[in-house]
Amino acid sequence: MKKFAGKVAVVTGSSGIGLGAALHFAREGAKVFICGIDEDINKKAIKAGAGMNIKVSKVDVSDPAQVEAWIGSIALEDTGIDILVNAAAIQTYGDTETTDINHWNRVISTNLNSCFLTSHFAYPLMKARGGGSIVHVSSVQGHSNQHNVLAYATSKGAIHALVRAQAVDAAKDNIRVNSISPGSIRTPLLEYAAQVVVGEGNPIEDTIAEFGKCHPIGRVGTIEETSALIDFLCSETSGFCSGSDFKIDGALLAYIGV
């Protein structure tokens, strides 16, 4: 019997880590609902999930009405939700002086409010299943950050507080809540970050290798490694894990580079 047979998994972010987790859950027998804001990215996700039990929807996770309608449409198809993974996010650059309020609101609503909104609307459906697991994808930058990532780092740090607050309250309903904090993982977002470093049109491979060298393990992580951690947090094996953040960072945050 497959590990997630009979389970219903809801995932935000239809590329990179979100798509990797969605494909993993589907391969392991779950019925999966995934969403993303970008039509072209969603089309690629539909292609990647062809033949599997995955439904891809266009949703802006920063918009409460769209999140409510999406989760509502899932409620019409199924009796509940067992797994919720929030991986949708944007990475932007700016400091206190250069980040304006529109930039700030866009990042906070996409990266942080979305984690609350999906949880809020999915919660009754998780209770209906007798419990479940929520995993929010944070970042090492929620612990310790580079220059010029004010809004992003704030959104990711706040996820750690959200996890604690949710986990304490949700324990009575047998719902566990955790986050993961990846270091550099090879995804479209990381490739975008590398492109920002080298400039438009220039090759990014050397920069990605440099990112990798910043991690004591000496390389960037993979989507498969990240899916394995999400798998653990969404399975019975992690039944006593709730209210925590799990780093998957090749020892990046353990290291003081002096």
| Min dist. Cβ of residue 68 to ligand NAD (A) | 14
Among 15, 118, 133, 242, binds ligand NAD (CB under 6 A): 15
Identify which of residues 16 and 80 has a Cβ nearer to ligand NAD in the complex: 16
Closest CB to ligand NAD among residues 19, 129: 19
| The two three-digit tokens of residue 224, written as one number | 């498969």
d(CA 41, CA 31): 20
Structure tokens at 151: 């809004």
Show Cβ contacts of residue 130 under 8 Å, excluding neighbours closer than 6 positions: 174
Out of 137, 153, 194, 233, name the contact with ligand NAD by CB under 6 A. 137
Q: Kindly indicate which of the ranges 26-34, 81-89, 199-207, 230-238 contains the residues binding ligand NAD, using the contact rule CB under 6 A.
A: 81-89
Contact region for ligand NAD (CB under 6 A) — 24-32, 75-83, 85-93, 197-205? 85-93
Instruction: Give every strand in the sheet of 132-137, ordered side by side.
Output: 54-58, 31-36, 8-12, 83-86, 132-137, 175-182, 245-248
Instruction: Give the HSE-up count for residue 72: Cα atoms under 13 Å, Cβ half-sphere.
Output: 7
**By CB under 6 A, is residue 229 in contact with ligand NAD?**
no
Active-site residue, 152 included: yes
Asked if 139 touches ligand NAD (CB under 6 A), the answer is yes
Selection from 107, 33, 21 nearest residue 69 by Cα: 33
Q: Establish if 185 lies at the interface with ligand NAD (CB under 6 A).
A: yes
CA angle 140–252–205, rounded 5-degree value: 90
DSSP code of 138?
A: -
DSSP secondary structure string, 152-182? Answer: HHHHHHHHHHHHHHHHHHHGGGTEEEEEEEE
Residue nearest to ligand NAD (CB): 16
**154 makes contact with ligand NAD (CB under 6 A):** no
Task: Please tell me whether residue 89 binds ligand NAD under the rule CB under 6 A.
Answer: yes
Nearer Cβ to ligand NAD, position 81 or 115?
A: 115
Residues with catalytic roles: 152
Site residues (vs ligand NAD, CB under 6 A): 12-18, 35-38, 41, 59-62, 87-90, 110, 137, 139, 182, 184-185, 187-190
